[in-house]
A and B are shown apart, each in its own frame.
Chain A
Amino acid sequence: MKIVVAIKQVPARDSLLKVDKSGTWIEDADLSWEINEPDAYALEAGLQLRESAGGEVVVLCAGPDRATQTIREALAKGADRAIHIEMSHGASDPLALARTMAKALETEKPDVVLTGLQSDDLGYGQTGVVLAEVMGYPHATLVMSVETVSGGIRVKRELEDGWFQHVEMPLPALLTIQSGAAKLRYATLMGIKKAKSKEIRRVEAETASAAPSVRLERIYLPQKTKRSQIFEGTPQETARQLVEKLRFEARVI
């Protein structure tokens, strides 16, 4: 079974963000980076699928040079090889990105494509579904687990309000993976060593599509609208003030 896992490199979770001069992206020179959280779970699902069904796991990542680091980490965890679509930073639209990704996968003909549910930076929650549409694959979103059954796969989907649902579909198929589905593995020393010699195929991204249907005008820090009472000072002072407010103003303790 050939399994492709789309992974994205995003700013580390606690990054302090500033808008850059273009006004449409963040200053990203000094940030640290990590794999998008749901993508780590997608990778884990891919590796487990390979363990049960055999085959190979190919990671697919679109991003600038620095993304190589995240790709190497995925290889160290056990992915067999990688495809790196070389692309500058910033906001691409999910349709343009999916078309580029589909092009890079043309010769691969994967049986299963896994993506994360949503990226922590752009947060479209769309790239997987759009990629399925572009590739002509059936898909399921918010997937918690995957098993092979005769004629294809059966997945467990998360629904709203604590409900779940099993869905069956033939292969090839695309799944978007929800966080928390499995325990993530760590890279072993051996894995890290091996990763250095694994293949990373680099492909150039096409130039942006001629007529995008949406345009990002600017990004900015959200304006505060609610007047919260914020306490500052030593921990003891702030704690004392808060307890007083909760007791005598809000009267909730």
Chain B
Amino acid sequence: MTGVLAVLEQFEGKLHGMSYEALAAAQQIGAELGQPVYAAVAGAGLQQVAAAVAAYRLDKVHVVEHGLLADYTADAYTAALKQLIELHRPAYVIFPHTYQVRDFAPALAASLGRVLVSDVIAHRVENGALTLVRQLFQGKMNADVRFEGDGPHFASVQAGAFRSENAIKAESGGSATEVVTPVLEASRIRTKPLERFRESQRAVDLTAAERIVSVGRGIREVGNIALIEQLAEAMGAELAASRPICDNGWLPMERQVGSSGQTVAPKLYVAVGISGAIQHLVGMKGSKTIVAINKDPEAPIFEAADYGIVGDLFQVVPALIEALKK
């Protein structure tokens, strides 16, 4: 049992952005462990994707082709990848922590009697042993985790933990690819995926805003949102929010920033009463200048912030509105 296998995600012939991060992770971990590095991609009609993956330095690209993999289902993906893993016996299997991976990778690992280490943010190799770091308590704590016993060992890596530009390209000619056809039966696929759709058109385009003031659960009540609106106005900024605010219906969904909302990169992003969970951070960490206002000095948002005020927003925000008028 040897090698590090990156399982990449594609949709309609295009690699998911986080697939490159998983590639970079596998290459880095493989190099540190002194083990070969493989990639696998599953679907139907994969010639183009296969070529894109083969452009990276890999010991082999497994192209898992089957008509029943055309539309993603957890059952078909789990069965197909299980067969691949049993055949090639990699020591480590690395996924990007995407929504799709959340949907099948835990079952795949469990079907082989293993536990997936999910949402990994960092790693280190000491004496040939791999330690993975993941977050607990919504980013307030870290945990070091190690694998026990024989592989295959499974891990998924958090968005942004590894950088896609670090993925190493193959020298001329590209890496070797091998098409594998798993044995799948339509009758074993229990879920039936229907059309993908988007809810209403977005009336607010936060991506065009130069400045954004974003409000989180620290605001406590819907009635207090007016205070943040005043701040936004004083700064000439658009109003945005974390997910719980939109879940509660306090602001419309289209103002949500994060992995299930909009991804923004304004000149200025002011996070008020937002803790800084990773699903929020991925939507705004590209902002040029980030300000956090939070009463908890340990809140993970401060790690992303250029400027921070530790304090009660109900005191800080009115003072800020005053100061802006001067």
Contacts and interface: CB of A to CB of B under 8 A. Distances in A.
Interface of A: 11, 13-14, 16-17, 19, 26, 37, 91, 93-95, 98, 120-126, 129-130, 132-134, 138-142, 154, 158-160, 162-170, 179-180, 183, 211-222, 224-226, 228-232, 234-236, 238-240, 242-243, 245-246, 250, 252-253
A149 to B, nearest CB: 11
A19 B268 CA distance: 35
B291 A213 contact: no
A228 B293 CA distance: 12
A44 to B, nearest CB: 12
A213 B99 contact: no
Contacts of A169: 190-192
A220 B300 CA distance: 14
B142 interface: yes
A243 B303 contact: no
Contact of A121 (B137, B235, B289, B298): B137
B148 A214 contact: yes
Interface string B296-311: 1110101111111111
Contact of B305 (A120, A211, A221, A228): A228
Interface of B: 74-75, 78, 98-99, 102-104, 106-107, 109-111, 113-119, 131, 134-149, 153, 190-199, 202, 211, 217, 235-236, 243-244, 246-249, 259-262, 267-268, 288-289, 291-292, 296-298, 300, 302-312, 315-316, 318-320, 322-324, 326
Nearest to A178: B260
A11 B207 CA distance: 35
User: Chain B binding site: helix, strand, loop or mixed by DSSP?
Assistant: mixed
Contacts of A13: 217
Contact of A138 (B191, B289, B302, B310): B191
A246 B234 CA distance: 13
Given A125-B102, A142-B102, A253-B268, A236 B319 contact: yes
28 contacts: A95-B113, A123-B134, A123-B135, A126-B102, A129-B104, A129-B107, A130-B107, A139-B107, A141-B102, A154-B194, A164-B199, A167-B193, A168-B194, A169-B191, A170-B190, A180-B248, A213-B115, A216-B143, A217-B131, A217-B145, A217-B146, A221-B140, A222-B141, A228-B306, A230-B308, A235-B319, A238-B309, A239-B322
B246 to A, nearest CB: 7
Contacts of B149: 211, 213
10 closest A-B pairs by beta carbon, nearest first, are: A180-B247, A138-B190, A239-B319, A126-B106, A235-B319, A252-B268, A133-B107, A129-B106, A166-B194, A235-B315
Nearest to A121: B137
Contact of A214 (B115, B236, B310): B115
A198 B165 CA distance: 57
Nearest to B246: A180
A242 B271 CA distance: 13
Contact of A246 (B117, B138, B199, B291): B291
A230 B309 contact: yes
Given A122-B136, A141-B102, A162-B199, A222 B147 contact: no
Contacts of A91: 136, 143
B105 to A, nearest CB: 8
Contacts of A139: 74, 103, 107, 191
Contacts of A160: 98-99, 259-260
Contacts of A142: 99, 102-103
